[in-house]
Amino acid sequence: MRPPPVDLPIMLVDVTVAAGAVTVLDHVTLTIGTGDPTVLIGPNGAGKTTLLRVVMGLVPVSHGLITWSGRESLPPTRRAILFQRPAMLRRSTAGNVRYALAATGVPRAARQNRAAELLADVGLKGLDRRPARRLSGGEQQRLALARALARNPDVLFLDEPTASLDPAATKSIEDTVRAISARGVKVVMSTHDLGQAKRLGGDIVFLHRGRLVETGPTADFFAAPRSDEARRFIDGELLL
């Protein structure tokens, strides 16, 4: 068994994030605990990316309070994030993973083998020596996932991990997410794909215009949305 996660629960109380005059997150109150993946959905600009960056600890809140396991500030040693457009370090594919391993204090002698394992896990076996920036978009996404997993996180945030990937690459990422979640890692991800939300989500957080409109178990949310906005979003209406 994994030791209990040091970051959980993550609690947001009345969190507001403002960028200049624009309110990106508007008085969001939410608790993220252990369990099946939490999936963030909502139209573009709803605040999904900002919420992920806030819970990762990358964006300071303008108002309200966020705590990781009761602490108001906790360095991201046990959290990892896969950005929607991950930056590739100007190194080899394996070099990117070894860098992430070094950053978490894995001894040098162990990095080579561990990097190979992680690359095999995400289906990048044999590409170790390829410069990371020469990989295809889908391969870069998987490398970034391997890099995030190299941190051996208790909580993994994924920002639209399969946007612009083809079905095969999407399935590969979803399989990995399921496997990670089954190992006891808490997954919090955003997606545009309602099918993916149903396939992976333990519970749903529905955002619209920076506000948290509705949250609940996935089955309940899709079968019986309580809010008018969620019902219209599920029905495929264009929420403006």
Partner 1 sequence: MTGDASALHLVLSGDPELFAIVRLSLLVSLTAVLVAALIGIPFGAFLALTRFPGREAVIVVLNAMMGLPPVVVGLAIYLLLSRSGPLGPLGLLFTPQAMVIAQTVLVAPIIAALSRQTIEDLWVEYRDELAAMNIGPLGRIATLVWDARFSLVTALLAGFGRAAAEVGAIIIVGGNIQGFTRTMTTAIALETSKGDLPLAIGLGIVLISIVIIINTLAWGARRAGERYAG
- Name the site residues for partner 1 (rule: CB under 8 A): 56, 58, 75-77, 80-81, 83, 86-92, 95, 99-100, 103-104, 131-134, 151
Task: Give the CA distances from residue 60 to residues 16, 38, 164, 171, in Å, rounded to whole numbers and listed in that order.
Answer: 10, 22, 29, 34
Please identify, using beta-carbon distances, which residue of 65 and 103 lies nearer to partner 1: 103
Please identify, using beta-carbon distances, which residue of 85 and 226 lies nearer to partner 1: 85
Q: How far is the CB of 171 from partner 1 (least distance, A)?
A: 26
Q: How far is the CB of 93 from partner 1 (least distance, A)?
A: 9
d(CA 106, CA 99): 10
For 240, the token pair is 């403006």
Please identify, using beta-carbon distances, which residue of 79 and 208 lies nearer to partner 1: 79
Please identify, using beta-carbon distances, which residue of 42 and 86 lies nearer to partner 1: 86
Please identify, using beta-carbon distances, which residue of 152 and 216 lies nearer to partner 1: 152
Q: How far is the CB of 81 from partner 1 (least distance, A)?
A: 5
Q: How far is the CB of 219 from partner 1 (least distance, A)?
A: 32
d(CA 213, CA 227): 7
- With b meaning 16 or more CB within 10 Å and e meaning fewer, what string describes 32-58? beeebbbbbbbeeebbbbbbbbbbbbe
Q: How far is the CB of 226 from partner 1 (least distance, A)?
A: 34
Report residue 188 CA to chain centroid gap. 5
Residues in contact with 225: Cβ distance below 8 Å, sequence separation at least 6, in sequence order: 206, 214, 231, 234
